[in-house]
Structure 1
Amino acid sequence: MSVERGGLGRLTHVIGEGLEGRVANRHLALFGLGFVGLFFILPVLLLIPESLALDSSTPFESYLRAMDGIYVDAFVRSFLFGVVTTAVTLALAYMLSYFLAFSTDRVRTAMTLIIVPLWIAYIVRYFGILLFLSPAGPLADLTGIETGLLFTTPAVIIGLANVYLPFAVLPIYNSLNAIDDELVDASRVLGAGKWHTIAKVIFPLSLPGLVAAGLIVFILAAGSFLGPAVLGGPKQTMIANVIAQAFLSNFNIQFASALAIVYTVLLVGTLLVFNTVFDLQEALGNI
């Protein structure tokens, strides 16, 4: 075993020496941009001619159909669920991150408990919540009360917030952990109480992490498919579910492509509006 480790160490050392001076930051940036362009931008661009169906007699029919009431409701519901999930998740993540940054020394253990769920497949976690909320689940056994939450909007929000909580904790904790302790001590020495220090010192300095976490959670929650599919009912259907049904069940590639393009445009537009309120480049750069 030690020989294998030694051989692997020598191999990585030789590779590192060979790449030293040859791989610059711009190469890494180009690799990242190329990956995003190949697997995100290019597929979206390919959807545009598919959705337009220019070779047919009604090229814009799919987009006109996407403006029907039931599909507009799905778009609105997706964004509303995204906003509510983001608000709930940020509130929970901020309290947890504050505890990790200022109130405990067992950060590594706590972080392990937060990160480990990311190793578990989403479908397993959603079904775990389904079992927990079911009339025959642990919650009903412990309380003796059937909450009736299953297949409702609160169940979907609970599931989304639970699944995406680690994505919010990590940037918020990083932002809180970067705050200079001397600033906090100075605030308290000058007579500010705990809550005043949080409101005037800690919260403003942690705002970049909060903005980054909100951005990540909103994008993930608004485009969720498994959350409403497992925990919701017909009234909780989101746009990802509609797109999947149009493509996988109805085999209507043109309509599914049109819905995907409309959703992408709405999401990018929302992010641009969000960027006018919060400078995303500065917020993400300060994480």
Structure 2
Amino acid sequence: MSTRIRNRHLAAFGVAWVGLFFVLPLVFLVPESLALGTGQPFQAYNRVFDSLYIDAFVRSFLYAAATTVLTLLLAYVLSYYLSFGSRRIRLALTLVVVPLWIAYIVRYFGLLLFFSPAGPLATYTGLEVDLLFTTPAVIIGLMNVYLPFAVLPIYNSLNSIDTELLDASRILGAGRWRTIASIVVPLSLPGVVAAGLIVFILAAGSFLGPAVLGGPGQKMVANYIAQAFLDNYNIQFASALAVVYTIILLGLLGIFNAVADLEEVLGGI
């Protein structure tokens, strides 16, 4: 099998899979959003740029940015502990990975119950936090769901650092924080960038987070797309929202790539 199946065959299979089930459906959205046979090809796009939906786009990417920053901070601390401070690495990694086996809807409803006035937080501590159906609740929910996606690439980068470099830094007189700033952080940057991209993309397109933990003022683009398609069965408008969202997301990723040079940074993973 190893002589018959080569790397180019695996790469071709991956490209074909992505093209068939990701790129092709997105391409089909464009003519669907234009509604070419109706005589009003840009009617759906005119509606997309209504202030209600512009606010949803801005809200989606702001929530994603806030979730990414906070998740990376928490994930870096946890990954550093797993790499350099934990003696039971397998157990700790298992605790990080296990949440991925639980459906998103279950985890979001778990937070909904936890923060509810009759939930365990209020029952056992007496604290009644007014978080439900607010922006902080949505961001906390997104962080909770996407944290494992940030921990794993950062842990991989930290775990690949040669410990002799850390020992040399200490021998030369650098303290713990100087070593972290000068050695650990720069060498773990590829994992941080990869984690940030994953969390940002997933958070920006989240549907369940604002649907379960947010209110009408926390709706994101995915919620309006689902509402347009599932509730109103307005396929043209839902497609237009999806196309504009995809263009904005790709544009942001292109800007980030121009600044950070993703190929060079991620090549270190």
Residue number in structure 1 paired with 2:21: 39
Match for residue 224 of structure 1 among 199, 206, 214: 206
Which amino acid letter does the alignment assign opposite residue 178 of structure 1?
S
Q: Secondary structure at the match of 1:23?
A: coil
Shift in Å, 1:286: 1.8
Shift of 1:284: 2.6
CA distance in structure 2 between the partners assigned to 1:63 and 1:199 by the alignment: 47
Moved over 2 A (4+): 282-285
What is the number of residues matched between the two proteins? Answer: 269
Q: CA deviation at 1:247?
A: 0.4
Determine helix, strand or coil for the equivalent of 2:38: coil
1:203 to 185, 201, 205: 185
CA distance in 1, matches of 2:221, 2:2: 47
Structure 2, unpaired ranges of 5+? none
1:152 corresponds to 2:134:
yes
Partner of 1:96: 78
RMSD (Å), alpha carbons? 0.8
**In 1, Cα distance between equivalents of 2:210 and 2:192:** 25
Q: Offset at 1:99?
A: 0.3
Q: Does 1:26 align with 2:8?
A: yes
What is the alpha-carbon distance in structure 1 between the residues aligned to residue 88 and residue 218 of structure 2? 39
Distance 1:283 1:247 in 2: 39
Q: In the alignment, does 2:193 pair up with 1:193?
A: no
The residue matched to 2:37 in structure 1 has which SS?
A: coil
Task: Name the counterpart of 2:59.
Answer: 77
Q: Report whether the alignment pairs 1:249 with 2:231.
A: yes
1:274 and 2:259 aligned? no
- Secondary structure in 2 matching 1:191: coil
Letter in 1 for 2:124: L
Q: What TM-score, normalized by structure 1, do the two folds share?
A: 0.92
- The residue number in structure 2 matching 1:68 is 50
Q: Alpha-carbon deviation of 1:149?
A: 0.3
Deviation of 1:128 after TM superposition, in Å, equals: 0.5
Q: Deviations over 1:139-197 (max 9, x none)?
A: 11222121000111000000000000000000000000011101111111111111111
1:139 matched to 2:121: yes
Cα distance in structure 2, aligned partners of 1:286 and 1:142: 47
| Whole-Å separation in 1 of the counterparts to 2:254 and 2:212 | 31
Does residue 108 (structure 1) correspond to residue 90 (structure 2)? The answer is: yes
TM-superposition CA deviations, 1:239-269 (whole Å, max 9, x none): 0000000000011000000000000000000
**C-alpha distance in 2 between matches for 1:278 and 1:112:** 32
Residues 115-160 of structure 1: CA distance to partner in whole angstroms, max 9, x if unpaired? 0110111000110111111111111122212100011100000000
Deviations 1:30-88 (A, max 9, x none): 11111110111000000100001111121101111100100000000000000000011
Sequence identity percentage: 70
Unaligned ranges ≥5, structure 1: 1-18
Amino acid at match of 1:207: L
Instruction: Quote the residue 1:163 is aligned against.
Output: 145
Aligned to 1:15: none
In structure 1, what is the Cα distance between the partners aligned to 2:118 and 2:27? 47
**1:124 is the counterpart of 2:100:** no
Distance across 2 between alignment mates of 1:127 and 1:249 = 22
Instruction: Tell me how far apart the structure 1 counterparts of residues 260 and 75 of structure 2 sit (CA, whole Å).
Output: 20
Rounded Cα–Cα distance in structure 1 between residues aligned with 2:19 and 2:252: 21
